[in-house]
Amino acid sequence: MKYLITGGAGFIGSNLARYLLGLGDNITVIDDLSTGSFENIKDLEKNKHFKFVLDSILNKSVLEKLIPSVDAIFHLAAAVGVEYIINNPLRSIEVNVQGTENILKIAHKYQKKVLITSTSEIYGKNEKDSLKETDDRILGSTTINRWSYSNNKALDEFLALAYFNEKKLPVVIVRLFNTTGPGQVGDYGMVVPRFIKQALLNRNITIYGDGEQSRCFTHVHDVIKAFDLIMGSKKCLGEIFNVGNPEEVSINELAKKVIRLTNSTSKIEHIPYEKVMGANFEDMKRRVPNVEKIQEFTGWKASADLDTIIIDIIDYLRKTGV
């Protein structure tokens, strides 16, 4: 198979490229390196089945050249990370909305299957015990930048489903719940690698807010297996799937786990949200995925628990240097 991965120099995209190359597929990556890094794909450059294009999904002429020659598209390119989105609201809207529209429009022209990566941010402030794909979205005011991202990605989903229903474009949507693992950086608000790096350096682990908010974390290798299963299944077309690990942990407990597993002397420090995110910020207390649908359709289930994820990142950072 020949695949195009948008945002393929990012954390998830580069891992996906490496996995698909291992299966013998031909991979083209397009990335503008705004949040991705060439270092993530440097080891792939010598592979004759790999091609890297330094450009943006906002450039329709480049997409017109790339999309006809592939069998399917993994659309991962997006403005990501809560901190990045808050600090770059206009860029986030342009990339997440216009970029996805470009992909869908040209994919439709050549009838190429598309996997759209969406986000658990779709659910907003819905703090239900186990969030299903059909659950309501609960959002705050338009004056709060965080909810812009949720609406951007919701518009991506509406666009994708409209192309599926009206134009019969083969599309599938996945909503990711805090994907993490070796190689991820904490530059854009990714909490697990940030905590581990602080712990390995025996610095204070900085928690935003009171730390009682809880989250669920999924190993990137599990996410990629889900992508592979979904992309290969005809019955998944036109559907939305949560992809996540339902193992819930408070951020305080996460910090304690990291300290224990790194054998660190770090202390926990709580920082008010407004000092990091500004006064105009909202967060939610919990966000837990219901993954019954993806299990029913594909048999997928996350295999790595949180301890395994943390240990994998620790080992990676110790080998590569913190």
Which structure tokens are listed for 280? 């105009």
In the residue annotation, 19 being an active-site residue is answered as no
b (16+ CB within 10 A) / e for 44-64: beeeeebbbbebbbeebebbe
Which structure tokens are listed for 264? 């660190």
**Which residues are CB-contacts of 219 (< 8 A; sequence separation ≥ 6)?**
179, 180, 181, 245, 302, 303, 304, 308, 309, 312
Q: With both helix axes pointing from N to C terminus, report the angle between 306-320 and 191-200 in degrees, rounded to the nearest 10.
A: 50
How many Å apart are CA 157 and CA 151, to the nearest integer? 10
Which one of the listed residues 149, 163, 188, 208 is annotated catalytic?
Answer: 149
Which structure tokens are listed for 190? 């990714």
Contact in structure between 180 and 309 (CB atoms under 8 Å): yes
Catalytic residues: 149
